[in-house]
């Protein structure tokens, strides 16, 4: 679900050389998503500290977990999502942080609304084990090519996924092919918590998913299908939408940008974040601290935000991009600004929590049943 920039067309994009092997021989090995850290930042870090940095990339939180659990390499830094940070902490796979080793760190450094979310009950169990990296929200990406689609999405939100008669006749709908996200869509529709462990509620959600026709279950391709007009509506993360948006900007497909958008419902929604953590596989935790601190520097965070394009966690960087004219088109889209969700009068933002092995196994088995 992650990232690359095309927004600032004047910036030259330096290719990130990704090492998918063990990373053996590097001073710092980062387990990361693809295109989720600026190569310029990595090179600047290498030059400042006289070290070599390599990235090993994966495409799911679960693969990050398995790579660390199986000790596939001596990873020094990992950047998983909220619920996986929770699981890794519970299973003893990441280290509690010593914040005194981070010169730039303070709670006041981050967007206040994000701080409030990170201190909520949803995130309480793994406080002290990560530094927030980027954040965003769940949303509905939609094509504007068919008359009436945008109006239906903006009026009915997540209802259009399950009451497809609210959409114009013949509209096509895509669903995320990930158990937790598909379940979340049904939970949001039915009004249940995204972290419920009530099996009767989970069963009701999967019954709803099973009886609803989706034209395509997918992941990264959903954003492309909507942006190219092959789907009218799809459940995505805000980052998926911005991947498509930046890609079209970078390739100068500006006319295509007018053909799709994203809506992030504000009455009840998922807000996600990814965090930097030090896994137990690290052989150089002191250098991992230096990299985390490097990313907390204003200039480095701003440059990384310009490359990745996700919503920054540092308050000063967030304030800059919200006011800078180069970002005007992006920040006008509500899904870029999760604070709009958090500040909404009827707000009910939820961060995914780790639900335990038994519940997770049950969810996976139910999902396989309806998608096989």
* pLDDT tens, position by position, 54-71: 999 998 888 999 999 999
Q: Look at 108-122, 144-158, 234-248 and tell me which has the smallest mean pLDDT.
A: 234-248
Range in 149-158, 245-254, 288-297 with the lowest mean pLDDT: 245-254
* Confidence (pTM): 0.85
Q: List CB contacts of 211: < 8 A, sequence separation 6 or more.
A: none
28-135+273-330 and 136-270+341-371 share one CATH topology?
yes
With 60 as the cut, is the pLDDT of residue 2 above it? no
Give the dihedral sign, CA 318/319/325/331.
positive
Per domain, the residue ranges of the chain are 28-135+273-330, 136-270+341-371
pLDDT of residue 338: 86
Place of tokens 């088995």: 365
Q: CA-CA distance, 105 to 91, in Å (whole number)?
A: 26
Pick from 147-161, 268-282, 329-343: least confident: 329-343
Instruction: Tell me which of 28 and 256 has the higher pLDDT.
Output: 28
Can you give the pLDDT at residue 249?
80
Token output for 167: 């959409």
The residue behind tokens 């960087």 is 317
Reported as a pLDDT band with limits 50, 70 and 90, residue 24 is low
pLDDT band, residue 345 (cuts 50/70/90): low
Q: How far is CA 95 from CA 92, 129, 297, in A?
A: 7, 6, 22
Range with the poorest average pLDDT among 22-26, 129-133, 166-170, 317-321: 22-26
What is the DSSP track for 166-216? GSPTT--EEEESSHHHHHHHHHHHHT--TT---HHHHHHHHHHHHHS--SE
Q: Residue 98 and residue 158: Cα distance in Å, rounded?
A: 41
Contact 59, 65 (CB under 8 A): no
Q: Domain spanning 136-270+341-371 has what CATH number?
A: 3.40.190.10
Percent of the chain residues past pLDDT 90, beyond the cut: 73
Higher pLDDT, 354 or 1: 354
CB 174 within 8 Å of CB 222 = yes
- In the predicted model, what is the mean pLDDT of residues 41-52? 97
pLDDT at 20: 40
Mean pLDDT highest for which of 89-98, 211-220, 236-245, 336-345?
A: 89-98
Query: Which H or E run includes 349?
Result: strand 349-350
- The CA dihedral of 76, 82, 85, 86, to the nearest 10 degrees, is 170
Q: What pLDDT shows up at residue 232? A: 98
Residue 9 predicted with pLDDT over 70: no
Pairing verdict, β 349-350 and 269-276: parallel
Residue pLDDT, tens place only, 183-194: 999 999 999 999
Per-residue pLDDT for 34 more than 90? no
Q: Tell me the C-alpha distance between 129 and 120, whole Å.
A: 15
pLDDT band at residue 38 under the 50/70/90 scheme:
very high
Does domain 28-135+273-330 correspond to CATH entry 3.40.190.10?
Answer: yes
Reply yes or no on whether the pLDDT at 8 is more than 80. Answer: no
Model confidence pLDDT, tens digit, residues 239-249: 888 888 888 88
pLDDT band (50, 70, 90) for residue 330: confident
CB 240 within 8 Å of CB 223: yes
Count other C-beta atoms under 10 Å from residue 47's C-beta.
9
User: Which residue's entry shows tokens 């709009």?
Assistant: 340
């Amino acid at each position: 679900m992650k990232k690359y920039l095309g927004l600032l067309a004047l910036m030259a994009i330096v290719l990130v050389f990704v090492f998918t092997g063990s990373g053996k021989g590097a001073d710092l090995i980062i387990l990361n998503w693809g295109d989720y850290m600026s190569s310029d930042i990595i090179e600047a870090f290498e030059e400042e500290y006289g070290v070599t940095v390599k990235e090993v990339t994966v495409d799911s939180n679960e693969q990050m977990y398995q790579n660390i659990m199986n000790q596939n390499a001596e990873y020094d830094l990992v950047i998983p999502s909220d619920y996986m940070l929770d699981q890794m902490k519970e299973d003893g796979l990441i280290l509690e942080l010593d914040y005194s080793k981070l010169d730039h760190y303070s709670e006041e450094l981050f967007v206040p609304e994000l701080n409030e979310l990170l201190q909520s009950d949803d995130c309480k169990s793994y406080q002290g084990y990560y530094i927030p990296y980027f954040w965003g929200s769940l949303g509905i990406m939609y094509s504007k090519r068919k008359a009436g689609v945008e109006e239906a999405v903006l009026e009915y939100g997540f209802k259009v996924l399950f009451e497809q008669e609210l959409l114009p006749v013949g509209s096509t709908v895509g669903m995320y092919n990930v158990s937790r996200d598909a379940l979340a869509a049904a939970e949001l529709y039915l009004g249940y918590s995204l972290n419920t462990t009530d099996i009767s509620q989970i069963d009701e959600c999967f019954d709803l998913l099973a009886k609803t026709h989706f034209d395509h279950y997918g992941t990264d391709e959903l954003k492309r299908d909507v942006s190219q007009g092959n789907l009218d509506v799809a459940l995505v993360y805000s980052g998926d939408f911005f991947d498509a948006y930046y890609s079209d900007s970078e390739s100068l497909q500006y006319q295509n940008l007018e053909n799709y958008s994203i809506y992030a419902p504000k009455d009840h929604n998922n807000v996600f974040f990814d965090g930097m953590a030090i896994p137990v596989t690290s052989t150089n935790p002191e250098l991992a601290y230096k990299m985390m601190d490097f990313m907390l520097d204003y200039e480095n965070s701003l440059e990384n935000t310009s490359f990745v394009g996700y919503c920054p966690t540092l308050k000063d960087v967030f304030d800059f991009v919200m006011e800078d004219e180069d970002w005007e088109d992006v920040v006008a889209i509500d899904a870029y600004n999760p604070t709009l969700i958090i500040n909404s009068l009827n707000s009910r933002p939820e961060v995914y929590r780790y639900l335990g092995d038994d519940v997770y196994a049950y969810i996976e088995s139910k999902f396989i049943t309806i998608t096989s």
